[in-house]
Structure formats: structure tokens, C-alpha cells
A and B are shown apart, each in its own frame.
Chain A
Amino acid sequence: MSERLEEICSIELPTGESVGVHRRRFTGGLGPHVAIVAGIRGDTPEGTRVAHAVARHLSTHHERLCGTVDVYPCVNPLAAHHGARHWPGFDLDLNRRFPGRADGHAPDRVARTLLDATRAADMVIELRGAHPAFREETQAHVRHDQPVALERALRANVRVVWRRSAELQGTGTLAAELPGLICLEGGVGNRLTDGVGLELCDGVLNLLVVAGVLPEDALPFHWAAIQRPLVATDEDIVRVRATRGGLFLPSGRMWGEVEVGTPLGEVVDPIAGETLEMITAPVAGRVLAMREQPVVYPGSLVARLVAT
């Protein structure tokens, strides 16, 4: 039984300095291997907070572990250093570089190293934050054709499990390379959000129980407290867009129930202030995401609903 901080990759900078990409490895005998990955983009501190919260719990319970848990708290440290989404200098989205290249430049090398380190894991959990313009309810994303991942994600203490088509996961993402990956996200991009970190931390710990790495009685809560999520397909997720440009002033409540026609907000002229458009729910359901950055163009996403 051990806990180690390991450098999986070193990023050499032109000035001669270097920055390490690290993992915290918790080992407790034979058992499944779980990888928890955060900070692929630099504007997702919520994921890093959750990773450390999970690691803190494992630090005090690693004698109870049956297996190995690798926690990668931030795989894009240079971007996280100034809260940027992309890898600075290269201006590359690390989550479009997988599978990466062992002989490539630093972003490609980090992508490849991370993929090689997680490919054989029995379960991989990616922790993301929301896009900086949005507030998101807690949700798990799994690929629609992965029944084991779905079954696990149902116990991830999230509001929604979204079964996504492979095409919607995008090319070059870690999820595209690891079909069984469970991606957890929620909160506000580039911010820490009250409650969300705790929800996701509890969800990850429960997933470790589901994987058989952690005994149930090592959880800091009773398993019955885990939320029962809605399961949604791509068709159930309804994107609501502005048709006018201006300032979007939301009136909908996160996770609030809406009927067809329920107001979600209005777009106002940013100078004159008059209402340009009232935006209402096109379907009955719940509010999964709401725009926080108010400037919108025609076509800008303002809310995402789960149809019920």
C-alpha cells in the first residue's frame, strides 16, 4: 500500500526550464486499475479540485484500496497557469491532439504519454469543467454503445447521464481514443462552483466502489445519498439558441422544470436596452445548462435542455 507522486512527462521549455506532468498513484494490492484525469484544458479548475479532493480521501484510506488509482490532477499545467483553454505558445487544444505522438512536440507527447498510461486501465474518468460561457448541471457523458460505462455512470452522482454518439465526441479527444471513458462535468468554466465539486467528488468515490477498488464502508457518505440521474440520448438534449444579437438576460433556473413556452430569458439591445427577443423553452424538460456570459450573436447557444 503506497502513495507516490510521479512525473509521467517533462515539458522542456525553450529557456531551458521544464514543467512536469504528474500523477498521484495510490496502490493497494491486486485489483482493478482506475485513472482519473483532470485539466486537459487549462480552464477547468473544477476538475483539478475534484481530483485533489478524491486523492485526499484516498490518502487517508489507501490501506483499504484493492487495486491502483492514478490521479492526474492537471495534464496541461502551462495552460492552467493562466487559466487558458489552449496550450500556450502552440495555441493548441490538447483535447484535439489524441492519440498524440511519442516523437512529437510537447502537446503531442503529453497526449501520447497520457493515452499510453491510461489505455489499459479498467476504468477511466475524465473530469472537465463547463465551457467558460456556461453554467452546467452535473452530468456524465458516455458513448452510446458502451453499456458498461453507462451502468457505471448511473452511479456517478450526477443529474444526467448523456449517451453521446461517437461523432459528437469529436475527433482527437481522449474520449474518442478510450470508448469506455466516463466524462464528468459541471459548474462554470474557469471557476469553482459551490456544491459541484462535492457532488462530483462523491460521484468519483462511488465509481471507485463500483469498480471494486474501494470498499463501500470507506465512503464518506451513505451510498443511498447518490443521485439517480436522468438518462438522455443526443435526441433528448435540446439546444436553445438566440436569434438576435445582444445581451442575454437569463430567467430560467438551473435544473428547473420547464414546459413548452416557459421563459428562459430575453435578449436586449446592449445600448438602448429594449427587448429584442424573448426566449422560451421549445420542449418540456429541465434546464441542463444556462449561458452565463451574456453577449450573444444570432445562433449563440443560450441554454441546453433535457427533454423529459
Chain B
Amino acid sequence: MSVVFRLEAPYRGEYALHRLTFGGNGPAAVAMVAGLHGNEVNGIQALNLVAGMLRVMRPKRPVHLLPCVNSIGADEARKRWPFDDRDINAAFPGDPEGAPVERIAAAVMDATDAELCIDVHSGATTVREHPHARVPLSGPELEHARAMMLPVVWRRRGDRYEGGLVGAWRGAGREALQVRGGRGLALDMDDATTLARGLVRLLAHLGLISHQDTGTPSHDTDHVQDYRSMAGGFFVPEVQTGERVVSGKLLGLVRNPLGGEPIEEIRAHKAGMVLAVRVYPMVHAQELVVRIAEDAT
């Protein structure tokens, strides 16, 4: 483990950006980043599981892991950089002479100079997400995502990658994708483990390690439907992430938080897999309550 960047942190010593590197010499093949958002602990756990595997597998080329970029945010269970409440993921590609988050962002870019870069996130604190990869509609990232065999591959238009670390990596000419799973502020062990297994499968697919882990091909789709509550209330889900649903399936009920009378039934319009479910029940009108990765038609 090495410290690739330091920043004086008043009252508490310093901020240090740690990088773990596994494998031989030469240019790095893969870089994985987690914890840009300090409260997204599933990504941190996933990379630590990957680190445990790489300690014994010794990849043929260097693999960089940055398991917890926003360590001060993680200390305080906060998504953003606590000092000035800025989102590090909104500061890319960064500036080595700029504000603290811009310096950290620039350091992350420098520390992840690899052919393939992966950014690992959790869902929001109010929403649990089933482990999935977000990739462009075509290209090498799509093949990488399929090799991971995460439960879902969400193919998205290129203009959905304008900002953030993935956008900056792609702007720098690197192959890049994002994987997500679980929710913020909570350790969802199953989701973190699924993410880690997918990342290790990818390293094996790239020929960097020898590893056999059979998996099921992903639910691969570019049709993802958000279901939102029409009215505010108390959302009680009737499904779980990863569950298969058919058209018409009851996804959940919005109830009156004071008395429990039903306000709204939310049902699936099409068959698919539940990609995300709201776990914090107080819901405003038009907030996301369920997301379905629809079956290809």
C-alpha cells in the first residue's frame, strides 16, 4: 500500500489517498476506485474483498485499488467531502492547484492511469440497488461488463457519461465503467460480495489472474423504467431487489403515514428484474420508489 497524495488537514494531521497495487511491473492494466462518496461503504467492502483475493492470486500485470477516496467523509458517514460539503465526483478531472476536492480529483486521475478503470458506487441512502454495471450501448466496456456477470448490465446512451470520474476517464482516452450495488450508509454484504466476485471475474477474463468462477449471464438491457409515486406518503414495497416481476405485478403501496390507508398502488408495466427499491419509506410525490430493468422485447 502506498500513499499517492497527501493534503494537510487542519486539526487532524493529513488526508492521505491510499493505493494498493497488486501484480508485476509495467503499465497498470486495471484501476478500481471506491469511496468517492464517503458513505457508500459497499464499494469499499467490495474492493477490500477484491484485495483479499489479489493477495493470493498475484495478477500478471499491475492492478490498482483505491478503496476509500473520501476517507474523511467515510469517517463521518457523509457522502461529500466534509470540509466544504463538495462532491468529489463532481470535481473531475480536477486541478492540482485548485480547491481541495479538485486536488483530490486530480490525484485520483493520476493514480488510476490504467487501460481499464472502474468506479464502484452504492445507491443513495434511501434506495437499495441490485448489483449492476452501467456501460455505453456498445464497445469494449460492454464486453467487460458482460464478463463480470453481475446480475444486470444497463446499457446507456453515451451522453449519460458527461460528468464524474467515469466521464473524466473516458475523456482521457481510457476505457471506463461504473458498477453499483447496495445502498448508502449501510453494508449490504450480499451486494458487496456480488460486486467483488464480478470484478474478480473480469480480471480473469482479461487474463490477469487464473480463476474459475461460474456465473449466470447478466440481465442485459437498455430499457430501464423508473416508477415514481404520484403522491407523497409512506411507501411499503412488495418486491425486493433482484426479484423477477411480470407485467401487472404489485411493486408496492403508498400509504397514508398517519393511519395507513392506501393512497396508490404501483404495478409493473412490463416484465423484468427489480433493479432498485426505495428502502426509506417516507416518499415525496414523483420520487423514485422502484426501478425495473425490463426484459428485451
Chain A residues close to B by CB (< 8 Å):
11-16, 85, 89-91, 103-106, 108-109, 133, 241, 244-247, 270-271, 295-301
Contacts and interface: CB of A to CB of B under 8 A. Distances in A.
Contacts of B282: 14-15, 89
A105 B231 CA distance: 10
Contact of A245 (B10, B232, B256, B286): B10
B232 A16 contact: yes
Interface string B266-290: 0000000000000000111111000
Given A298-B100, A298-B103, A247 B283 contact: no
Interface of B is mostly: loop
B10 A15 contact: no
Interface of B: 7-11, 14-15, 79, 83-85, 97-100, 102-103, 228, 231-234, 256-258, 282-287
5 contacts: A16-B258, A105-B285, A105-B286, A106-B285, A241-B97
A104 B287 CA distance: 8
A271 B11 contact: yes
Contacts of A16: 232-233, 256-258
Contact of B10 (A13, A85, A295): A295
A280 to B, nearest CB: 17
A197 B173 CA distance: 49
A106 B286 contact: yes
Q: Nearest 4 pairs between A and B by C-beta?
A: A245-B8, A105-B286, A297-B100, A14-B282
A105 B257 CA distance: 19
Contacts of A15: 232, 257-258, 282
A298 B10 contact: no
A305 to B, nearest CB: 17
Contact of B102 (A90, A105, A299): A299
A104 B232 CA distance: 13
A12 B79 CA distance: 26
Given A247-B10, A270-B11, A299-B98, A13 B284 contact: yes
A106 B284 contact: yes
Given A16-B257, A16-B258, A297 B83 contact: yes
A105 to B, nearest CB: 4
A295 B84 CA distance: 10
Given A270-B11, A299-B103, 16 more contacts: A13-B232, A13-B284, A14-B234, A14-B282, A16-B232, A16-B258, A89-B284, A90-B284, A133-B84, A241-B97, A241-B98, A241-B99, A245-B10, A245-B14, A246-B10, A295-B11
Contacts of A244: 8
B286 A297 contact: no
Contacts of A299: 7, 97-100, 102-103
A90 B232 CA distance: 13
